[in-house]
Chains A and B, each alone.
Chain A
Amino acid sequence: MNTVNQPSLANDGGIPARRAMIRWAWRLFKREWHQQLLILGLITVAVTATIIGAAVARNAPPPANSGFGSARYSATIEGSDPRFQSEVASFSKQFKPVEVIENQILRIPGSTMTFELRSQSPHGIFSKPMLTLVSGRYPLTGGEVALTPDLARNLDLKVGDAFRVGGASRKVVGIVENPQSLLDQFALVTPGQVEAATTATILFDIPKGMSLAAGNIGKPAVSASRTFLIPRSLTFDGVAIQSASKGSAGAFANPETISVAGLALGMLLIALVAVGGFTVVAQRRMRAFGVLESLGASDKNVKLVVKADGVIVGVVGSLVGVVIALAGWLAYRPVLESSSHHLISVLAVPWTVVVASMLLATVAAYLAASQPARSLTRASVAASLSARPAPPRQLHRSAIPAIALLASAFVIVWYSGKQDSPGLLIIGLIFLVAAVVLLSPLFLAALGRSGRRAPLALRLAFRDLARYRARSGSVLAAVSLGILISVIISGVAAVRYSNPLDYVGPNLAPDQLVLHVSGPPASAVKLGEGAGVPTGSGRAKSLGASANSIAKALGINSAVELDSVDANLRHAAQGRNWMGTIYVATPQLLGEFGINSSEVSPNADIVTMRPGLSGESKMQLIYGSNLYGVVAPPGSSQAYSCPTSDCLSNPVIQQIKGLPSGTSAPNTAITETAVKKLGLTTFVSGWFMQASKPFSNAQMTAAQQAAAAVGMVVETQNTLPTSSTIISWATAFGIALAIAILVMSVGLLRSETAADLRTLAATGATSFTRRNITAATAGALGFLGAILGTAAGYVGVMGWFMSGVQGGGLSAVTNVPIENLAIVIVGMPLLAALLGWLLAGRTQPSMARQAIE
């Protein structure tokens, strides 16, 4: 009987066979899971970090509806406004239904601290999410009150005690809090119990059929034509209306998507490392696979065992990661609540990220296991039975596809910048990664050829890397991608920070302080809209005296007056435009930074420290009516019209390096000559102070209080990093990632040639030779990874910036400090070699603990 041609059964044994293979894979995993600890650990750490990171990023900011409850809009009316009652009535009539919350600010007896006596219904139609009961009950009558925990503690009151304020006594019946803001200290009374409201907050929604477009409910605060410069705000009957933030949930780049994107990249690196891990495990089980094939298992069945192992590792690793992440979340949530000052639900975990991270981990492990699964079935059954690994697959790949991919990546990234298309940018980056993966084996082949005349250890290491490049290629790709990420971050930071128009970076140095007359101007257009006081006026003199007094208290001789003008710079082209304040280059200001007035060219209109600004073409100095006359959309020729009456085309800009670099410091100033020439009006917008050492917290607090007392605002250093900080961190990150990959992978790669090492040992080679081989392997992979990653990173960055999307030139790419590149290309491989040498002290584990008995 010809049994082979029986049609009744599928070739591969169908479901029973697959079930048997999966069962065996699971049993093998249970027996030998410790052999896969490395991959399990990597997946666990990645999933844990992603979930906790996403949970913190999602929950740390105040809730999107903080202060609004379930309403979409709110308006606050001052109690001192004579139209208080009529405004409330007017809102109630226009936006039915509305909810009014009245607040009376009161002082805690014997303290400078204040709290609010708040009349609010616990069952308000909009404010319900702004109130929770901690203990006791809500007040029901005018003689009852509920306090927030901090207020109760400050007043030393508990439920049942009497709360006396303003001559009235109320019984404390409960402890309440605002879950959206734990800093909110108030005493809750029933609606209508606040007799002298300081403010009233009106919560409301826009009725259906009505929009907040201009004209429907009132006049916009700023003209629609300028909304591209100033955030839109609206008023109703002269009262400003705030709209609730939609939060980041609907945005594409919300914490969840960023976390998942980061995890996807991380999983790609893990998958590249895991290929080596699964290969070694598969080789250890080679005889067992041979037996399986001798029993009649098809290639598909054998592949299934290895792939199922990958899935099991992915699922188990991600499950452990999820469990650790959830435990970590439970432990960290109270800390986060305390630091973010709002209640966070136990279940406020980004579940989509949990599911996505598990899926990504499983898919990554499956894909990583697929490669050794394919190579296993290339060996003959007899070779498998004798545990003879198939000879390393010789990859004779052409460089053409890799180079074509690299070129395509460049073009796509460039085009994505031109089209402002994030989708194209992602495709370009995928091409870039694919090019790196394809180029890796080619680099290793070249390395193998280059080591022909090298000493024994180097020669062996290089040849093994080249022989086993199907495996070592994935490790090299992983190292290269780590460096590529670092280089892209560094390149983008270098170019972004070098843009002289839209200047970014820390606002001030830690020993600098700016006193603003009425807050830091948000944009240049706001200049003249109350951001300053007339120069020489009594108010200016009075504020100047206060500023000098604050300066003296800070140990500074005198504050430098910051004069501004009703003029601004503009770049008459698309892309990033001028951002910043132009101060007047008074002799006092220049002298503060050691600049002599004679250093300023008599022809100069503008002096700046921003490198490259003096070389910018299409610059305009706009003033007068033109300053507020941008009516056409940006980009159209009309938007950049430059009539000589109120616009100076191509002003002479002189670079003076002595000016400070902070974005809020006077880094750019108009010369007094230009002020006179153009007939500009100057006004005092603030004072600049330079101390000899960084300010302490106490000094800053004292300055803020003193400034607030005279209606001024203090600006001190913010937390924005400098470009060198970002580049240094990116460099450290890339090196750490590359080293971690090498430390985890080189042992796996060397275990493939364990038999060779045993032969070497038998012929008299010492551990010194073994150490040298491992060091050379790690160093070579590190060096090639640094070269490949850096080159690919620059291709991507150059493509992006050649599109002109950042408004900067391609030359800005060279702003990445040479020492950072040297550390990556030279330092990292040396460190890898050193670690390889140190960690190679242990003898290689024997190849086979066979999974057969």
Chain B
Amino acid sequence: MSFVELRNVYKSYGDGAAKVDALRGIELSVEPGGFVAVMGPSGSGKSTLLMIAGSLEEPTEGDVRIDGLRLSGLSRNQKARLRRRTIGYVFQDFNLLAGLTAVENVCLPLELDGIAARKARAIGMAALEELGLADRSNRYPDQLSGGERQRVAIARAVVGERRLLLADEPSGALDSVNGEAVMRMILSACKTGVAAVVVTHDAHLASWADRVVFLRDGRVVDQTNPPPSPESILQPSTGPNEPSL
């Protein structure tokens, strides 16, 4: 059974002459543990697709299901609850909250879900330890490097047994070494059963995915399964020694 399903999804902005169709009849499904990369030129609707899949945006038409739940039937609060328990986001520019330390950023979704601060912190620390960031746990975002920030963002996205990881250009602001490290982490998460949808411009990084979906003008124009396994191509020693999730 698919964990994420988009059926005949349309999304339009504006009215009349100013109307823009961002998505036109998208069909997409991702199995648990599946890793889908979404590629396409600017304005093709990649980010909109991610937003709709993550309940951050309402489709104009069509049906979106996460873990069998129809999003259109959920209230704003129910969607919020779904996001903090099931969906994790990774943004291109990290989007860590200033004023909160690395570990506080990571455990924030847990606290939002009602888990006591001490317990949430312990879970957050464990997540950071797995990513080799335990010694950075009490640093503020502006005291971390770009790669460290994105690792914290990934830790925040997967903490608490979330099962859907949505990443919008997660390596866009990183150098190639850190970018590949990030992809490796996402792949590791998928191996634990997390479904991942990653938007990227980089074909090389997209080749890490099980499947690549190509968008143009809001339509899926192609879907491929990349033949070579990225892990078999990449030299593990080329990136930082990142622990797997």
Contacts and interface: CB of A to CB of B under 8 A. Distances in A.
Interface string B125-163: 000000000000000111000000100000010000000
Nearest to B107: A20
Please indicate which of the listed interface residues A9, A16, A852 has the most CB atoms of chain B within 10 Å of its own CB: A16
Contacts of B116: 16
Contacts of B156: 295
Contacts of A3: 67, 81-82, 85-86
Nearest to B99: A27
Contacts of B113: 9, 13, 17, 296
Interface string B89-100: 101011111111
Nearest to A852: B95
Contacts of B83: 293-296
A545 interface: no
Contacts of B97: 24, 288, 291-292, 851-853
Interface stretch (A332-340, A364-372, A378-386, A655-663): A378-386
Contacts of A295: 83-84, 89, 108-109, 112, 156
Interface stretch (B71-79, B191-199, B202-210, B222-230): B71-79
B95 A20 contact: no
B82 A4 contact: yes
Interface string A1-19: 1111010011111111101
B122 interface: no
B112 A13 contact: yes
Interface in A258-309: 287-288, 291-301
Interface string B37-79: 0000000000000010010111000000001110000101110
B117 interface: yes
A16 B99 CA distance: 18
Interface residues of A, number: 43
Contact of B96 (A9, A381, A852): A852
B16 interface: no
A9 B142 contact: no
Contact of A380 (B56, B84, B108): B56
A16 B96 contact: no
A183 interface: no
Contact of B56 (A294, A850, A851): A294
A842 interface: no
18 contacts: A2-B67, A4-B81, A10-B114, A13-B114, A17-B112, A31-B99, A291-B95, A292-B97, A294-B89, A295-B108, A296-B81, A296-B82, A297-B84, A301-B112, A385-B56, A851-B99, A852-B97, A853-B141
A301 B80 CA distance: 10
B242 interface: no
Given A296-B81, A853-B94, 18 more contacts: A3-B67, A10-B114, A11-B78, A13-B112, A17-B111, A17-B112, A17-B113, A27-B99, A31-B98, A293-B56, A293-B83, A294-B83, A298-B80, A298-B81, A299-B77, A300-B77, A380-B57, A850-B98
Nearest to B101: A27
A297 B80 CA distance: 6
A382 B56 contact: yes
A287 B94 CA distance: 12
Contacts of B78: 4, 11
Nearest to A385: B56
B115 interface: yes
Given A4-B78, A11-B77, A24-B100, A287 B95 contact: yes
B187 interface: no
A28 interface: yes
Contacts of A292: 97, 108
**Residues of B in contact with A, size category:** 35 or more
Contacts of B182: none
Interface string A724-761: 00000000000000000000000000000000000000
A409 B104 CA distance: 52
B6 interface: no
Contacts of A24: 97, 99-100
Contacts of A287: 95
Contacts of A6: 85
The 5 lowest CB-CB distance pairs between A and B, nearest first, are: A296-B84, A27-B99, A853-B141, A20-B111, A296-B83
Contacts of B81: 3-4, 11, 296, 298
B69 A2 contact: yes
A16 B95 contact: no
A612 to B, nearest CB: 66
B154 to A, nearest CB: 13
A600 B77 CA distance: 86
Please indicate which of the listed interface residues A11, A17, A23, A294 has the most CB atoms of chain B within 10 Å of its own CB: A294
A16 B80 contact: no
Nearest to B55: A381
A2 B100 contact: no
A35 to B, nearest CB: 13
A380 B140 CA distance: 28
B84 A381 contact: no
A534 B120 CA distance: 97
Given A296-B109, A853-B94, A853-B98, A12 B69 contact: no
B149 A853 contact: yes
B98 A297 contact: no
A298 B98 contact: no
A13 B76 CA distance: 14
Nearest to A302: B80
Interface string A822-853: 00000000000000000000000000001111
Given A11-B81, A294-B83, A296-B85, A4 B114 contact: no
B89 A28 contact: no
Contacts of B82: 3-4, 296
Given A294-B83, A296-B81, A380-B56, A852 B98 contact: yes
B98 A20 contact: no
